[in-house]
Amino acid sequence: MKLFKIRGGVHPHDNKHLAAEQAIEDLPMPALLHIPLQQHIGAPAKPAVRRGQRVAKGDLLALSQGAISAPVHAPTSGRVMGVGSYPAHHASGLSVRTVTLMPDGEDRWSDEIQGVPDPFALSPEEISARVAAAGVVGMGGATFPSAVKLNLRTRYRLHTLVINGAECEPYLTCDDRLMREHADAVVDGIRIMAHALGVERIVIGIENNKPEAQAAMAVAASVDPRIRIARLPTRYPMGSEKHLVQALTGRETPARGLTADIGVVVHNGATAFAVHEALRLGRPLVSRVVTVSGAAISRPRNLRVPLGARVQDLLDYCGGFTEEPTELISGGPMMGQPLPSTRVPMVKGSNGVLALTAAEVARHEPMPCIRCATCVQACPCGLVPLDMAAHTRAGDLEGAVSLGLMDCIGCGSCAYVCPAHIPLVQFFNYAKGEMAARGRTKQKLTETKRLAEQRTARMEALKQAKREAMAKRKREAAAQKATPASTPASTKASGAELPATEQPAAAAEA
């Protein structure tokens, strides 16, 4: 199919050969699983189990809270050891609420797990409800609840479903292997999502460095004439949602808008596989495929990992390190985050664990900007990173925002090509975080002012009510005092109003 050009981008060494030919293997069940309740964008899940409770595989561990949330399920059968705090799969290393589960070795599915013989007989609402109940989120790393995106049909006029199989990050091969080994299941999940969205066109974008995946998906997709395979050029960041849509449709997503604004919804191939399992088999999302790679890894692998397994469990299965890594990363080297330790658990958005050597990282001391504009040429969003960085360093964050800071996708292309080795992405991430913090502070002040004004209005209303009540009582008291004083005059004016026993006396006086 015809492809359209996108601006910028880079061609880093992909190093996918380390794990690309390694078939997916099941990680042996660890002795303990630490399952965080926050594995998605939105509100954390609420615990639904207690210490000592026995659960089967797929049983509900935590309930979703609110519209943007996702439930959490047991990755295997066993006993709940407790609900407490444990280090998160995040660069901060801060602790989050976590369910600790001791597997019993049976790996027994819950008796309540039941699939649907024909998902296409379900209504779109029923499909999205089942996807939500299964805890499926975006598996490409964004972890946005998938059911929310499936419900976009109610707000937008959708016509195309795009499946992001680009996997443009170096080293990562988990989606490649999934499309190779489970193409039929991935395509089935894609068709179910297309049915829920009500679209008439499906495009699966796969980069040209994955010819086996392209071939396997083309064969599986032949069952549906709506599906087309787009063979994408190997270029980073082709996997960026907005740039992928632009390459496939030629249309640009509005700034800070959604691809749904132009009628397109994007899902990941691994998400489609999870939807297939949720609908056909009734299985919630309790495991995922993860690439363990890097020159410091003894045996790079693609592993199917139960959620809650520690990073150390994966490293041990892959033979540990050949040498002490310079950097340990969750995800890819371009947009991934450093891991604080190997104790942290794997979560729904964990698609890679990389152990990189000093030669792979190639750190350099930053130098002053020479204004060569190489970063400008590389930026896929058409921004001017060197000027945004200058404003950020000067503390003028509003100036950086005016230059398009909030449109930056954090892909790292600018930093990759910078000859001065300036950590541009770190500058922009700091600026975004600081602006978000300022926004929260401003919102808090606005909310505090609003509550104070409401309280003042309530107190004034109470005072006014008291004043009116007091005035009413004064009027009533005055009326009561005036009534006895007027009674004698009225009786003198009319003898008929005197009691019967007093009438003769009154007549005698007359």
Cβ-contact 131, 152 below 8 angstroms: no
Write out the H or E segment, with its range, that includes residue 149. helix 146-150
Q: Are 80 and 101 in contact (CB under 8 A)?
A: yes
Q: In degrees, to the nearest 5, what angle opens at C-alpha 332 toward C-alphas 330 and 337?
A: 40
Q: Please tell me whether 174 is known to bind a ligand.
A: no
Residue pLDDT, tens place only, 197-217? 999 999 999 999 999 999 999
Give this prediction's pTM: 0.86
Is 408 marked as a binding-site residue? yes
Give the C-alpha separation, 116 to 417, whole Å: 50
- Residue boundaries of the structural domains of the chain: 20-106+121-317, 367-457
The CA distance from 383 to 371, in Å, is: 14
What is the SS3 string spanning 281-300? HCCCCCEEEEEEECCCECCC
For the stretch 399-444, pLDDT in tens is 999 999 999 999 999 999 999 999 999 999 999 999 999 999 999 9
Q: Would you say 411 is a known binding-site residue?
A: yes
Q: Is the peptide bond before 71 cis (omega within 30 degrees of 0)?
A: no
381 is in an annotated binding site: no
* pLDDT, position 485: 53
369 is in an annotated binding site: yes
Q: What is the mean pLDDT of the chain?
A: 92
User: Which of the following CATH numbers is that of domain 20-106+121-317: 3.40.1180.10, 3.10.20.30, 3.40.50.11540, 3.90.550.10?
Assistant: 3.40.50.11540
Residue stretches of the chain with pLDDT short of 50: 489-510
Q: Residue 484 has what pLDDT?
A: 63
**Any binding-site annotation on 318?**
no
Per-residue pLDDT, 107: 96
In terms of Cα–Cα distance, which of 256, 195, 251, 231 is closest to 1?
231
